[in-house]
Amino acid sequence: MLQNINRLTFVDMELSDSLLLHFNKFGRITALLTSPANLQKLLELDAGHNISGIQVKGKEKMRILDERIFNLKSLKYLHLYNQGLPVLPDIPENHTLEGLNLAGNAFSELPYVVGQLKSLRYINLAGNDLTAFPMNVRLEKLKSLSISPKSSAIHRNMEIRSGFSEYFPALSDLSVHGYDTLIIRDFSLDLNLQILYFTANFIAVDAMETDTLVRSGHFVLQGKTIDGRSGSYPNVPEMEIRETEADALPSSLRNNTNLKKLSFSSANFGRLSFTALPESIRYIHFAVDNITEVDEDINRLKALNYVAFNNNLITEVPRIDLPELNELNLSGNKIRIIRYLPAAREITFLGNEIESIDDSVTFPDKLEVLDLAINDLPVIPSALAKAETLKELDLSENEITEIPDFIPALSNILVGGELGPLHK
């Protein structure tokens, strides 16, 4: 029966010694899961030239990688996670390997022999002992690179140096995460990066060129303290800053004229001013940032079409007047009375403490969706009779027990939860 198998997509050899006796009878094998011991036997038999992907897994660690693995002619992907490897053997020049997972090993630097892998597109160095990057290894086709320290490391520090565009000109996805201290020195972003992800407890931006552009990219900084020593951040279209103790927006952001989307989480803003943001920005999201008040200088950002201040400490609806605003998210705040509604197509008050809507409130002509679910409304506010353009209204999970006569004036009403049986 083995002679009839021309192609396998997966073979689990972790516990199957007997399979080795018939291995060359298989056709193409696209993925092989094997133990270190069985892989060694395979190489000793000079078998496995029909394999395009190998993942080594087992209770015993490999410790030393047999150089004969690079003699496998069809090998494209090699996963050596948590094998205790401190070095790699010599690699034949211009080997066609495209993916290399070295996560969870004992590398203190990028092995210079990796430079022989001219076709390499992906390398994972997470969970190793690297302290600086890049090394003097050029990989012209590399697209994705991930770096992080061992979880057991006492000093988890990383220095990002200049040279990425020289050593990895095709890089599109860079992730450097999990460090205590991350120092970014002279980091030029003249790359076609799609994702740039930096996380650490302390991030020191010593110099990051802003006259170059991460085209169509998403930039993430995550750290309790972010120190912009050069006074600049990369001029990227999308930026996300997480778990920082910042009490104000970095003033240098205003120079990032390419910035269109900004997300902040877990900061300590209090009253939030927007003078630091460029007027070109279209999307802002501030979640769990201890915001108590939104300054009216937000109205200078005329291009904004999405604004979110969810899960903060806001007690009054911000006085927002933005001509392009499409969606406003104020869910999870401390608002008790709605005294004002900004002009937006969709407004979310989910999970506040709303007890009423003031009768003087003017409903914007473009308001179509209003979410008042999970609040403390005892009755449906009479002010809603003026909401002539509403298409969706969610009043579920309030204290409402009846629907008043004016409600049929609304063209559509969406109610759920406890109000479901009272739907008109």
Return the higher-pLDDT residue of 337 and 181.
Answer: 337
User: Hey, which of 47-51, 198-202, 301-305 has the most confident mean pLDDT?
Assistant: 301-305
Tens digit of each residue's pLDDT (9 = 90 or more) over 80-132: 999 999 999 999 888 899 999 999 999 988 888 999 999 999 999 999 988 87
Phi, psi for 2 (deg, rounded to 5): -60, -30
Q: Which of 417, 423, 413 is nearest to 399 (CA)?
A: 417
How many other CB atoms are found less than 10 A from the CB of residue 424? 9
| pLDDT on residue 238 | 79
The pTM for the full model equals 0.64
Tens digit of each residue's pLDDT (9 = 90 or more) over 362-403: 999 999 999 999 999 998 888 888 888 888 889 888 988 877
Cα–Cα dist 114/103, whole Å:
15
Give the confidence band of 20 by pLDDT, cuts at 50, 70, 90. low
| pLDDT on residue 207 | 43
Give the confidence band of 225 by pLDDT, cuts at 50, 70, 90. very low
Return the higher-pLDDT residue of 47 and 286.
Answer: 286
Over residues 341-361, mean pLDDT: 96
Tens digit of each residue's pLDDT (9 = 90 or more) over 254-281: 877 888 888 888 788 889 999 989 998 9
| pLDDT on residue 3 | 45
| pLDDT on residue 299 | 97
Identify the weakest region by mean pLDDT among 138-142, 176-180, 321-325, 415-419. Answer: 415-419
Tens digit of each residue's pLDDT (9 = 90 or more) over 35-83: 898 888 888 877 777 888 999 987 888 889 999 999 988 899 999 999 9
Give the confidence band of 421 by pLDDT, cuts at 50, 70, 90. very low
**From residue 84, how far is each of 60, 63, 88, 152 by CA, in Å?**
10, 5, 11, 14
| pLDDT on residue 401 | 80
Return the higher-pLDDT residue of 7 and 169.
Answer: 169
Mean pLDDT score of the chain, rounded to an integer?
80
Q: Which two tokens stand for residue 208?
A: 């990051």
pLDDT at residue 165 tops 90 = no
How many other CB atoms are found less than 10 A from the CB of residue 372? 25
The count of C-alpha atoms lying within 13 angstroms of the C-alpha of 294, restricted to the half-sphere facing its C-beta, is: 24
Q: Which two tokens stand for residue 30?
A: 């696209």
| pLDDT on residue 142 | 94
Read off the amino acid at residue 235: N
